[in-house]
Chains A and B, each alone.
Chain A
Amino acid sequence: MSLRSPLGRVLGMGSAHEGVQHWWLQRLTSVALVPLSIWFVVSLLMLPSLDHATVSVWMAHGPTALLLVLFVLTAAWHSRLGVAVVVEDYVHGGLKTVTLVFCTFAHLLLAAAAVLAILTVALRGAT
């Protein structure tokens, strides 16, 4: 039995069966970001200075690098989900699809660039 209205079925509108997944991932990343974002802000504020040497030493420290990677990936994922909801609400038609694809690619690029940057500093520090 389908719960969709006959009109909805004819128009091919309605659930694409991804709603729960999106909802759940938004919550999962929210829960993870509570401690991760607080850690990030507090440790940034606790740095004695923001010069290159201090920041490099901080980033090269194993636990920092690990938490930074987790923070950036979770934040990018959460941001992608959040921005997508806003786009779905305010952008319509073909432009919506284009914007969603762009926003997914942009977030992937950000996440990859951040991980590469963190690893570069972390591995440089280890040698």
Chain B
Amino acid sequence: MPTRPLSPHLGVYKFTYTMATSILNRITGLGLSVGLLLLVYWLMAVAGGERSYARALGVLSSPVAKLVYAGLVVAFCYHLTAGIRHLIWDTGRGLERAQSRASARVVIAVSILLMLLIAYWVWFGGAHAS
């Protein structure tokens, strides 16, 4: 069998920012899967009682973990907004090139707005810093 290029054969395309929004959706999705792992670890620590929770907090409130949470906030805001864009596409709307370019901009703008909103809430809105 001859070796044919397999999808995704990205080499044949010029890189555009509609592509960037697409690959970012994947990367942030994978990141959120790691977040799910952390969430389950946290839930299990709560179920394990006060001492297991204190032990888990050693890991979950470390500076590295806080960096991960920042990444998760970015990933969540982006994946949520880009996901809604995909759901709109699924109804058959917004698939024209000009429209999808415009919606790529909207996704970036809205997700950054959401990130800022959450960051503001964490730092100034009285929400706990972890």
* Interfacial residues, chain A to chain B (CB-CB below 8 A): 11, 27, 30-31, 33-34, 37-38, 41, 45-50, 52, 55-56, 59, 68, 72, 75-76, 79, 82-83, 86, 89, 92, 110, 113-114, 116-118, 120-121
B128 in complex: contacting residue of A41, A50, A59, A72, CB < 8 Å: A50
With the chains together, A33 CA to B36 CA distance in Å?
A: 13
Q: Is the CB of B87 within 8 A of A117?
A: no
* Smallest CB gap from B90: residue in A: A27
Q: Is the CB of B53 within 8 A of A52?
A: yes
The answer to whether B47 has its CB under 8 Å from any CB of chain A is: yes
A82 in complex: contacting residue of B33, B44, B47, B121, CB < 8 Å: B33
What is the distance, in angstroms, from B82's C-beta to the closest C-beta of chain A? 11
* Interfacial residues, chain B to chain A (CB-CB below 8 A): 1, 6-8, 26, 29-30, 32-33, 36-37, 39-40, 43-44, 46-47, 49-50, 53-54, 76, 80, 83-84, 86-87, 90, 118, 121-122, 125, 127-128, 130
B76 contact set on A, CB distance < 8 A: 37, 41
Q: Is the CB of A117 within 8 A of B44?
A: yes
What is the distance, in angstroms, from B64's C-beta to the closest C-beta of chain A? 17
Q: Is the CB of A89 within 8 A of B36?
A: no
What is the distance, in angstroms, from B17's C-beta to the closest C-beta of chain A? 21
Q: Is the CB of A86 within 8 A of B26?
A: yes
With the chains together, A118 CA to B43 CA distance in Å?
A: 7
B53 contact set on A, CB distance < 8 A: 52, 55
Q: Is the CB of A56 within 8 A of B46?
A: yes
A114 in complex: contacting residue of B30, B43, B50, B84, CB < 8 Å: B43
B125 contact set on A, CB distance < 8 A: 45
A59 in complex: contacting residue of B33, B37, B46, B86, CB < 8 Å: B46
What is the distance, in angstroms, from B65's C-beta to the closest C-beta of chain A? 12
B128 contact set on A, CB distance < 8 A: 47-50
